[in-house]
Structures are given as C-alpha cells and as structure tokens.
Structure 1
Amino acid sequence: MPSTPRPDDRAASAFRFATELVAWVATPWALAPHSVPLAVLSVVVLIGLPTVFSTPGDKRNVIVAVPGAVTIVLVAVQLVAAVVAAWVAWHVVAAALVTVLAAVTVVLELPRWRWLAAR
C-alpha cells in the first residue's frame, strides 16, 4: 500500500489550536464551581494526552505512538469539551461562537482525519 503524504493542514491547525485553547479555559471554568481538583485534572488530561500520545508522521516528536484513530478521538474530545463547557460556563453568544468554531474545525480537519484513519 503506497504511503499518502500528510495533507496540508495549516488552516485547520489554527482553528484546531483555537478550539483547544477554548477547551483548556472553558472546561476548568465549568468544573471549578463543582470541584477544583476535577477542574485541574481536566486541564492535565486535555493538554497531557495529546502531548504524550500521537500518530507517527503527524507530529515530529512522538512520545508514545498510537494509531491515527486515537489521534482523531483525542481531537474530538477537545472539540466536545470546548463546546459543552462553553455552554455550561459562558453566555449563550460566546457558547454559540465556540460551537461555530468547533464546526468549522471539524470541516477543516476532515482531510487530516481521513489521512489519520488510514494510519
């Protein structure tokens, strides 16, 4: 099976990073009123898992190699966390904007996800 090159995802990566930032801020914001340790743990999980687990060829530095499907799931967790936490913690207008950001991110991520799914 010939190896297909990784798709250019510069635009997608900007949207993906913006959504990750929202997840890193909104998730602990939504959880803190209920449990500060859980809020801290959410940040450790949201930042730590994608840092440690990655698909070879998708990142330069791979600490623990995982199949592409795992990387897709990790991105999806970030997207869901951003949207759900925004709706829980923030004003409806901000939450709606986060939802649009996440939807655009999904559309832009599709070529990369297809590539990752084949790995």
Structure 2
Amino acid sequence: MRLPVLPAALVLATTLAGFSAAQAQDAAAGEKVFTQCKACHQIGEGAKNAVGPVLNGVIGRPAGTYEGYNYSPANKNSHLTWDETTFRDYIKDPRAKVPGTKMVYAGVKDDKKVDDLLAYLKQFDATGKKAQ
C-alpha cells in the first residue's frame, strides 16, 4: 500500500502552525514572570500605586499618565504609548529606552518571558478586571 504524498505547502503550513503555537504567549507563565515586578508594581482589582505605578490597562496607555503616581520627568515627557513593541524595548532595558527614568531594573532579556509577561498584563483592563 502506498501512502499519499503531501504537498510541500501543506507540510510547511503544518510545521509553521505548530511553531507558532509553541511560541504563543502564555499568561500563566507571565504571572510567574510578574512576581519579580511585584516588588514595585501592583495589578488587578484593588491595585494601588507603590514604588511603581499600577499596571492595570498599561498596554495602550500613554507613559507617565497613571493618576496619582509621581513619575520622573523623563517618563512623563517620553511621549511613549505602551504598545507591545514599546513595552518590549522598555522592559529589556528601561534606562536605555527612557534615559532618566527612576525605574531601577536590569530588565527581562528573554523574549519568551517578555511575550508571557505581555500576555499576563494584557488580561487586565484599566479598572483591574481580568478578561475572561
């Protein structure tokens, strides 16, 4: 019995689909990455400003604008909006992205951890409610 030969395009598509799934953002893993952020930041319902600002709804928010937090002039005047690309650059090396920021953090260098952290953060709307 002869097995059917799959077209190369189908094999490639199946392989790429599997690769994409393996590279997908993982919010549960991102919650673990966030444990290092908890020293300064809060997220979720009831979150309050601490050493750093609340991170509810951070993706899509202009930098330096969370009410009640005393941002550095560098952050307030950065003219950044926290989209995925900007956040990725910032979290890898905050002081390189925003010279003069008061965020003292070495950064997350691992791309997968950054992906997962983004997935975790994106779950929370501006009020701290977690998307279902």
Q: Fold conserved (TM > 0.5)?
A: no
Larger helix fraction of residues? 1
The TM-score, its normalising length taken from structure 2, stands at 0.29
Report the structure number with the largest CA radius of gyration: 2
Of structures 1 and 2, the one scoring higher in RCO (CA 8 A, sep 6+) is 1
The TM-score, its normalising length taken from structure 1, stands at 0.31
